[in-house]
Amino acid sequence: MKRFIYICFFFVWLTLSPCLPYAQQVTDTGQLPAGLVQESVLEKDSILIGDQTWWNMTLPAGIWTGRKIEVPDFSPLPYKLTAQVEALSGVLLDSVVRKKHLDSIRARILITSFDSGSYQLPPVPLCLVGQDGTRDTLWFKGPRLSVNTIPVDTTSFEPYGLKPQMRYPITTGEILTLVGIVVLLSALVFLIILIVRRRRNHLPLFGPVRPKDPPHIAALKVLEDIRARELWKKQKAKSYYTLLTDTIRVYLRDRWGIQAMEKTSAEMMEALLQVEAEDSLLTEKIIGELGQMFSTGDLAKFAKYTPSDSENEESLRQAIRFVTETAKDEEEKEE
């Protein structure tokens, strides 16, 4: 019984031996069995040291039909095919399709060498396993690979030490380019600063600065425009009084430096009363009329009060009288 087991083991080993790791395969072409032996080719049969090339093997047409192809194991990579030739990849299988039909199957290996000389590559086995478990080994003969090196003329060769880093002189064109870049950046920075300053001062970006109207002239122009628009007749009392009071607030800011835009009506009138002692043009009467106009405006803007046409016209007249009666000092300065 033990003898029978040894015989069976020996038979299985003979059957599977062609598909064992490639290091255990036959390396002499003369030892290959007759029959399933094919030729193989190199994409480049001559390479330089360290160069790479593909070793191509084409399976005969139809021989793989209904069979599974098993390839030898090249691990770990790089795998030494010979003492001087290494495999950089395993056996890769590619399908060659022509006219939308499978024409053949190609196996290929990427190889290289770092020793010059001519080397005979070993044969490569591919196992064909049928559906019934039968196994056939298809052998590919190894071609010859020539590895060349770059010849060195030893008669004229003279070793030199390391050369220092080369320094090229600066040309006129490089200097002009650098100066142009500096000038361009300086002009750009100057232009940005100019734009920011003019925007901050509410000045036009280009062209001369128009002289600013005196506060009373600017205020009277706006008040005349408000009179022409007659917003109170279009049921826009809130917009009308907003324009009217804002115009007077701007006039107070430019005339006496009162920050009226940031104050309530009561705070603004209190600040105006403090300036009264310093300006003879400010009288209790004119300040009282201005306070009456602001009071009507606050009712229209915040209390939904609808003033009559006479009240609206009177508010406009009060604003105009306040500007004209307090602008005499400005007119004398202009003269």
Give the pLDDT confidence score for residue 114 in this predicted structure: 92
Find the mean pLDDT for residues 190-201.
85
Give the pLDDT confidence score for residue 109 in this predicted structure: 93
Query: Confidence class of residue 182 from pLDDT cuts 50, 70 and 90?
Result: very high
Query: Of 97, 147, 92, nearest to 120 (Cα)?
Result: 147
* Token code pair at residue 212: 């600013």
CA distances from 265 to 218, 225, 297, 300, 314 (A): 21, 23, 10, 13, 18
Give the pLDDT confidence score for residue 31 in this predicted structure: 56
Query: Confidence class of residue 329 from pLDDT cuts 50, 70 and 90?
Result: low
What is the value of pTM for the model shown? 0.41
d(CA 129, CA 134): 6
Query: Of 103, 104, 75, nearest to 91 (Cα)?
Result: 75
Which residues lie closer than 8 Å to 101 by C-beta, 6 or more apart?
Answer: none
Give the pLDDT confidence score for residue 211 in this predicted structure: 67
d(CA 161, CA 316): 97
Query: What angle (nearest 5°) sits at the alpha carbon of residue 333, between those of residues 330 and 335?
Result: 115
CB 82 within 8 A of CB 119: yes
Instruction: Count how many residues are written for the chain.
Output: 335
d(CA 44, CA 54): 8
Which residues lie closer than 8 Å to 148 by C-beta, 6 or more apart?
Answer: 46, 47, 48, 49, 116
Please provide the average confidence, as pLDDT, over all residues in the chain.
Answer: 80
Which residues lie closer than 8 Å to 104 by C-beta, 6 or more apart?
Answer: 58, 59, 60, 61, 96
Side chain identity, residue 135: R
Query: Of 139, 106, 105, nearest to 28 (Cα)?
Result: 139
CA 164 from chain centre, in angstroms, equals 39
Find the mean pLDDT for residues 139-158.
81
Query: Confidence class of residue 27 from pLDDT cuts 50, 70 and 90?
Result: very low
Which residues lie closer than 8 Å to 142 by C-beta, 6 or more apart?
Answer: 29, 40, 120, 121, 122, 123, 124
- Asked if the bond preceding 122 is cis, omega within 30° of 0, the reply is no
Query: Of 118, 191, 110, nearest to 149 (Cα)?
Result: 118
d(CA 294, CA 264): 10
Find the mean pLDDT for residues 290-312.
85
CB 125 within 8 A of CB 141: no
| Helix pair 237-256, 284-302: axis angle to 10 deg | 140
* Token code pair at residue 71: 């390839």
Residue found under tokens 């009308």: 240
